[in-house]
């Protein structure tokens, strides 16, 4: 979960895994997979950084790298 701020200065906690798109038009608008949209005070870059930090916390970053390493090791063993 990431914590952001609405335009009315209230905290908004979102499940970062459900974010489908983030736009800066010029307000930062977040669209979730279910179609809900939220406008927040944070910049697009701040939302992106918070999302990446969340992914790191739950261990979702680096999965492709780990798979590539495993695939490479399998090829070497053959």
To the nearest 10°, report the CA torsion of 62, 67, 72, 75. Answer: 180
pLDDT in tens, the chain (78 residues): 999 999 999 999 999 999 999 999 899 999 999 999 999 999 999 999 999 999 989 888 765 655 555 555 554 554
Distance of CA 70 to the CA centre of its chain: 25
**pTM, whole model, 2 decimals?**
0.75
């Amino acid at each position: 979960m990431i914590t952001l701020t609405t335009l009315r200065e209230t905290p908004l906690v979102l499940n970062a895994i459900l974010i489908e798109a983030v736009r800066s038009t010029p307000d930062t608008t977040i669209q979730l997979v279910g179609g809900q949209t939220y406008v927040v005070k944070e910049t697009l870059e701040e939302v992106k950084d918070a999302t990446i930090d969340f992914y790191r916390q739950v261990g979702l970053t680096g999965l492709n790298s780990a798979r590539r390493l495993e695939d490479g090791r399998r090829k070497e063993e053959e």
